[in-house]
Amino acid sequence: MKPKILITSFTFPEVLEFTSAHFEVDDNQQRDVLDAPALRARLHDKDGILIAGGDRVDAGLLDACPRLRAVCNASVGYNNIDLDECTRRGILATNTPGVLDDTVADLGFSLILGAARRITEAERYLREGRWGRWKNDLLLGMDVHHATMGIIGMGRIGRAMARRARGFDMRIVYSNRTRASRDVEDALQAQALPLDELLASADFVCLTLPYSPAAHHMIGAREIGLMKPTAVLVNMARGGIVDENALAAALRERRIFAAGLDVYEGEPSVNPALLELDNVVMLPHIGSATRATRVAMGLAAARNLVAILEGGRPSSLLNPDALSRGRGA
């Protein structure tokens, strides 16, 4: 008998075909809303689950799923998974790093350009019929070329952002928990700086670090206060890294020039204070949203499911300590 899995969100035919060859699949192509009770009901007899970033896997859900052995996130971020609970129960958890780096970096650079050149504000201006005669000071923005890019989190996506910045002849500085290798620094022409120094010197501050409790509100009122009044903050990492009330106040008072956001602390809800502002470009967490990349993410998560449920080790295991504990052993 094939193992049983649940795919919680709409997915693509390639992913369904692959998973159906290995598992008995309960999918959600109907796009049902799977709140916590519905998720428990659908998952109680399953061996594995393929989830998206919006699905919360916590102790309450795991209590209702005695057969569950694999939690496979079709995402790089995994703050929706209680890793400690999974590990304690011997449930292996995975993510999908590597397959979406360039796609997310493309969107990150579009946020830089959109915020710096006031693209969404300018489009609204035009659509509302407000464009009259040419004015020398109409919708003046900030130059991106030759500016200083400050990257907080020099992982795969941070390095992809740095490669794009080089095409704009930008100076690249970065802050990271551990310094990048000399080869990486040389290849990207990137300089490591302490966080406060980066914030004070960068024209564009780009957040590409993973979320963790230690990173919660890492960018708050004090940190924003160190930034230039002409600076732009771009976040395509996780919303909880930024104190959105402090950011909204700084944008409203023009203490920084603009922001570009693809992620939010309470998503899908968005802080109402941000919605009132013209100097912030806001997107609905679409960093990886191209068909090719979303298929690749789904297939990567599906391959992790196969590895776990067929007794192997997945390629992107988040909690290796679970290997020796119970269900995942």
pLDDT tens digits, one per residue of 190-206: 999 999 999 999 999 99
Per cent of the chain over pLDDT 70 is 99
Position 327 confidence tier, pLDDT thresholds 50, 70, 90: low
The pLDDT assigned to 283 comes to 98
Active-site entry in 69, 117, 118, 238: 238
pLDDT tens digits, one per residue of 271-286: 999 999 999 999 999 9
Tell me the CA distances in angstroms from 11 to 79, 206, 301, one per residue in order. Answer: 21, 30, 12
Q: Is 285 a catalytic residue?
A: yes
Report whether pLDDT(28) > 70.
Answer: yes
Which conformational region is residue 220 in: left (phi greater than 0), alpha (psi within -120 to 50 degrees), or beta? Answer: beta
Token digits for 76? 């790089």
Active-site entry in 40, 56, 171, 285: 285
- Give helix 101-116 / helix 156-167 axis angle, nearest 10°: 50
Query: Do 161 and 108 contact (CB within 8 A), yes or no?
Result: yes
Architecture of the domain spanning 101-282: 3-Layer(aba) Sandwich (3.40)
pLDDT tens digits, one per residue of 50-96: 998 779 999 999 999 999 999 999 999 898 999 999 999 999 999 99
**What's domain 4-99+291-328's superfamily in CATH?**
NAD(P)-binding Rossmann-like Domain (3.40.50.720)
Q: Is 238 a catalytic residue?
A: yes
Alpha helices in the chain (DSSP H): 13-20, 36-43, 59-63, 83-88, 101-116, 119-127, 156-167, 182-188, 195-201, 221-226, 244-252, 272-275, 291-309
pLDDT tens digits, one per residue of 89-147: 999 999 999 999 999 999 999 999 999 999 999 999 999 999 998 899 999 999 999 99
Domain ranges of the chain: 4-99+291-328, 101-282
Q: What is the mean pLDDT of the chain?
A: 96
CA distance 225 to 223: 5
User: Cis bond leading into 194, ω under 30°?
Assistant: no
Contact residues for 301 (Cβ-Cβ < 8 A; gap 6+) = 50, 72, 73, 74, 94, 96
Please indicate whether the domains covering 4-99+291-328 and 101-282 agree at the CATH topology level.
yes
Active-site entry in 40, 185, 267, 327: 267
CA distance 127 to 236: 27
Position 329 confidence tier, pLDDT thresholds 50, 70, 90: very low
The pLDDT assigned to 38 comes to 92
